[in-house]
Structure 1
Amino acid sequence: MTWGDTMVRERWERRRQAALQRDMLPSWYATRRRRRTLAAAGLAALAMIWAATAVSWNLAPSDTAMAVSLPLLGLSVVVMLPVVTLLNVATRGSMSLAERLLDERQVAERLRSFTVAHRVMLGILVVLAVVVLSTDTEDVPMASVALGVVGLFETHMLLPVLVAGWRQADPPPGDEEDEDL
């Protein structure tokens, strides 16, 4: 890696860190209940991808499969982009920033979130394997395979952010004496 590449990367990381420190729509993630609502919306968006996979598995190749799958995928993207953005801001980038830019508390929360997310992902893979192995797989539509791969990728990438948003506690209330100073 050249000196110029290093400078560009460092500048990018600094800008990203600064962007994640700004409060963007803070009322959307100010309380634990709202962060959990955002995480639930993210899970619903992931469920849309898996629903599109199931529809494609059962109905493809057909116009009905395409007419159902494409809107589900589009709606999933429309829901997921703001959810992931707001949860990244709510966690101050603990899931997306380089580890050297995080404090000890953020690193610990990141590790906990990754651990929970990987356990959930293992459960998803087991269920998926059981479903695939227990069904007739002679004529599997390629569209359902492609959607399944997209679903696996998205689930694997987004679960840690959703778990972090779900688990994040509310900050402790400030002391009244400190506010007067």
Structure 2
Amino acid sequence: MNTQKKGKLPTRVEIMQRDYLPGWYATRGRRRLLASAVVLATSLLWVDAAISWAVPRDDRGALAGLALLAIATVVYLPAVSLLNVATRGVVELRERDLDERQVGERLRTVAIAHRVTTGILIALATVAIGVGIARGRDHSLPWDALVSVTIALFLTHFVLPLIISGWRLPDPPNDDD
């Protein structure tokens, strides 16, 4: 199925239809393992944000933050790439490049992700208000913690529909069905 002409780059739709390392996402269990790897990588960013909020950064703290970021990146990039291919770009592609079933799946996935992100925002606001009340009026959020929390929140919001889509995707029917 190589429809690519010489000298022409493949489109996003063509890339999402290719089977890169299909053994990594062929079954529901493996797709859920990939989704869990993305959750782990995103969680490492939240851990970094919590550490930068709770502990003042010195040379060791900055080095620990960079180590967490490096581990998260090494896990995140291949897992997200494989999940995108496993879901055939349901979250990544434009709506006009999807069929009706995929559009419906995308809508359900985004709705669930929206609810989860709303819960995360409520929890984050509750923690921030609680810490502010406990530490008094002169408490302020350190700049690096604010940046870390913002990055973790943005990445969570961005990748959560893909995680949910990869988690929910059923196995294809057997050949004899």
Structure 1 and Structure 2 fold alike (TM over 0.5): yes
* CA drift at 1:60: 2.1
SS of the residue aligned with 2:147? helix
Q: Which amino acid aligns with 2:112?
A: V
Asked if residue 77 in structure 1 is aligned to residue 78 in structure 2, the reply is no
Q: State the match for 2:108 in structure 1.
A: 112
Within 5 Å, give how 1:1-181 maps onto structure 2.
15-135=11-131, 136=135, 138-175=139-176
Q: Which moved more, 1:164-173 or 1:61-70?
A: 61-70
> How much does 1:64 deviate?
2.8
Aligned Cα root-mean-square deviation (Å): 1.5
Which string of whole-angstrom CA distances, capped at 9 and with x for unpartnered residues, describes residues 50-96 of structure 1?
Answer: 00001101112322321211111111111111111101100111111
Partner Cα distance (1:95, 1:30) in 2: 18
Paired letter, 1:161: L
TM-score (norm 1): 0.87
Structure 1 gap segments, 5+ residues each: 1-10, 177-181
Greater helix proportion: 1
- Which aligned runs of 4 or more in structure 1 are off by greater than 3 angstroms? none
Structure 2 letter corresponding to 1:168 = L
TM-score for the superposition, normalised by structure 2 = 0.89
Spell out, residue by residue over 1:118-159, the C-alpha distance to the aligned partner (whole angstroms, 9 max, x if none): 111011111101111000371321000000000010000000
The letter for the 1-side match of 2:128 is V
Give the distance between the partners of 1:143 and 1:165, measured in 2 at CA. 32
Does the residue aligned with 2:11 lie in a helix, a strand or coil? helix
Amino acid at match of 2:139: E
| 2:25 maps to amino acid | Y
Distance in 1 (CA, whole Å) between partners of 2:109 and 2:60 is 38
